[in-house]
Homo-oligomer: A and B are copies of this chain.
């Protein structure tokens, strides 16, 4: 220890703090928020936030009342017990687990024991506690379909768990690469524990796995003894026939289902959940439910999820027969219309025969995101330039990959925008593309 002057102010060296704090995954979230906050007037295709048109404070009161009616009438709570349920410490795994299980049955055809549901502080906490449980030591690695949601990568960093990318290929998952990465990990003396995947309208890619690929992925997971961590925040926001979730197809308890109400309820409730019906076998043969093990971790992270917040989400579920599809008919129409408008707007502005050369995009069937591939590289410097010079924000896809990938792609999020703003935003984006192409041409002319 160096000698320090007595009474000197405490200063901490970043080098002495946890490595996640210097990691690009955590910095990237910060950088993107910071750029957005510096250009509040810019039209933002950057943030995947739900539409705000139907937000109304009166709904919060109404949902809480509906949930209290449920406690009174359906569960038979007398008033002291009712106020206790909302005010006092409560069940670590949550108090809306029955309603979550009903929702999963109604909307997803997933039938689970409510005891296997852990209600969490948003889906983020669900991801975190699952990874904390699975990461025992430095041999444990997580596989994840690439490009990957930043929140998953960040949660993995907090438990020092490496994330190995699995190629998504053309169809959303390259199953040969999944087998190969698992084998590579084992050959290196490591333990691939699970593979993270967002099968429906993924963030950031917008890709959706076919039913056949879902079946095959479950088979591969069984063969490789991997868990699948299925994250499904956007699945109900599609413009066509819905495909079964992995969990609905899961006959071997391979899938830990990560549920979010951030988009189907609202983000400010911070309510999500994990469904973890796996059996855990202790050395003495005792069997427990993975949900109960996750609950022990949760008790040391957040104690329990605010019952007030759970009441708000529970009330919204109750008012809609536990169907988030029913609860979001208007919102889904907004997202589906916005998606069409973005796709039509891109096609109009970048026809293949003219400016469109080298510019392409995918055609998701729902969700919040479209990915545009450009004939030039895009990075954070260009994002900042775009915000300043053209008044439009988007997300460089490189943030969702390890180094060196996605360099020519941007993610456009359209969920929070009105039709007018989408049109204006695409105009600005088109101007940016023209500008960047000119600058690239001038650059190569000079070279």
Contact = CB atoms under 8 A, between A and B. Distances in A.
A171 to B, nearest CB: 23
A14 B280 contact: yes
Interface string A289-306: 010010011011111111
B10 A88 contact: no
Contact of A52 (B8, B29, B83, B134): B83
Given A7-B252, A26-B299, A302-B302, A49 B12 contact: no
A372 interface: no
A300 B158 contact: yes
Contact of A128 (B86, B223, B301): B301
A18 B132 contact: yes
Contact of A8 (B82, B222, B270): B222
Contacts of A159: 18
A436 interface: no
B270 A306 contact: yes
A430 interface: no
Given A21-B293, A83-B56, A278 B89 contact: no
A14 B282 contact: yes
Interface in A237-268: 251-254, 262, 266-268
B279 A16 contact: no
A360 interface: no
B135 A300 contact: no
Interface stretch (A118-126, A172-180, A324-332): A118-126
Interface stretch (A57-65, A105-113, A384-392): A57-65
B14 A283 contact: yes
A278 B12 CA distance: 7
A151 interface: yes
User: Which among A12, A55, A278, A307 has the greatest number of chain B C-beta atoms within 10 A?
Assistant: A12
Contacts of A75: none
A376 interface: no
B9 A124 contact: no
A268 to B, nearest CB: 4
A154 B299 contact: yes
A441 interface: no
Interface string A67-105: 010000000000010111111111000000000000000
Given A6-B219, A12-B290, A30-B296, 10 more contacts: A6-B223, A10-B252, A12-B281, A14-B281, A17-B280, A17-B293, A18-B132, A52-B80, A89-B262, A151-B303
Which 9 pairs show the lowest CB-CB distances between chains A and B? A154-B300, A55-B83, A270-B306, A55-B87, A14-B282, A121-B302, A89-B267, A87-B266, A268-B307
29 contacts: A4-B223, A7-B252, A9-B253, A9-B279, A10-B252, A11-B279, A11-B281, A13-B280, A14-B293, A18-B134, A18-B135, A18-B136, A20-B297, A26-B300, A49-B88, A50-B88, A52-B80, A52-B87, A52-B88, A55-B88, A60-B86, A121-B302, A151-B303, A154-B300, A269-B306, A269-B308, A270-B304, A270-B305, A308-B309
